[in-house]
Homo-oligomer: A and B are copies of this chain.
């Protein structure tokens, strides 16, 4: 389990890695980091976000940590582990922050040194900005965190992962299988990003800026997307994302059919289902707020 002597290494010191480091250092943990960007390491040391850092896979440095958190893109993480896992301390525990899990968890577990353990996790938070200079220990306050264990994971790894999330300040910590996680994230996050991107890309809206209300802005905020990261996430979750896109398309086309054919009886039925389901989200939000009081 996590205790104050656990030394934590962040690999990849961007917005997420930097914010993890900031929150953990703030709670009194010794946090190190590896990032190829020298200026990111120096910035983080100067600000007290990390105790020490390296710009390369320094074996002696890496061996001094017992908990490793990968904050890299999925492909970069898999490559890094393959190349450098010989440096990890015996019995080190590895975890990550990737937004897709089947494509990361199974392939890392398959190639991992037998004495090491990798447990997948997904912090569901972020910002429309990137880089350690935007790191902030508070960005995960109120956010959800998902632990994604497989049959290869021991209970103590799940417990450590949950403890890590609690320490960082996540509001709600859940456990899902890689399959359920990827379906859920395909719908709630990847599909919604595709919708926002399609809505902004389908029409030149510059002359409409003066007429937009909050709802259009709310709906499209996530269109300010990091294209390299998201293309990788879409690629790694392709089958589930396509399945969710097809679900949405079919419903959208049915709504179009209703409008085209004046079938307002069906249209109203769809609207009632949508409104009822959406209300459930506010209800749960309300309940959580009153629990906190």
Contacts and interface: CB of A to CB of B under 8 A. Distances in A.
A81 interface: no
Interface stretch (A63-71, A101-109, A249-257): A249-257
Given A242-B259, A248-B202, A262-B235, A220 B281 contact: yes
Q: How large is the interface on A (under 10, 10 to 19, 20 to 34, 35 or more residues)?
A: 35 or more
Interface of A: 124-125, 143-144, 146, 172, 174, 176, 184, 187-189, 191-192, 194-206, 208-213, 215-225, 227-228, 230-231, 234-235, 238, 241-242, 244-256, 259-260, 262, 264, 267-268, 270-275, 277-282, 284-285
B250 A217 contact: no
Contact of A216 (B125, B188, B201, B231): B188
A221 B213 CA distance: 13
Number of copies: 2
Contact of A249 (B206, B252, B277, B278): B252
Contacts of A272: 227
Nearest to A187: B203
Given A124-B213, A218-B218, A251-B202, A238 B259 contact: yes
A202 to B, nearest CB: 4
A199 B267 contact: no
A201 to B, nearest CB: 4
B144 A275 contact: no
Nearest to A245: B256
B241 A219 contact: no
20 contacts: A144-B212, A172-B210, A187-B208, A188-B205, A188-B211, A192-B215, A197-B271, A198-B251, A201-B274, A202-B247, A204-B277, A206-B277, A215-B222, A218-B219, A223-B275, A224-B279, A225-B271, A235-B259, A242-B260, A249-B256
Contacts of A212: 144, 188, 281
B277 A200 contact: yes
Given A206-B280, A264-B235, A255 B216 contact: no
Contact of A192 (B192, B211, B219, B230): B219
B217 A281 contact: yes
A144 B252 contact: no
Contacts of A270: 197, 201
Contacts of A217: 281-282, 285
Contacts of A280: 206, 209
A209 B194 CA distance: 20
B227 A221 contact: no
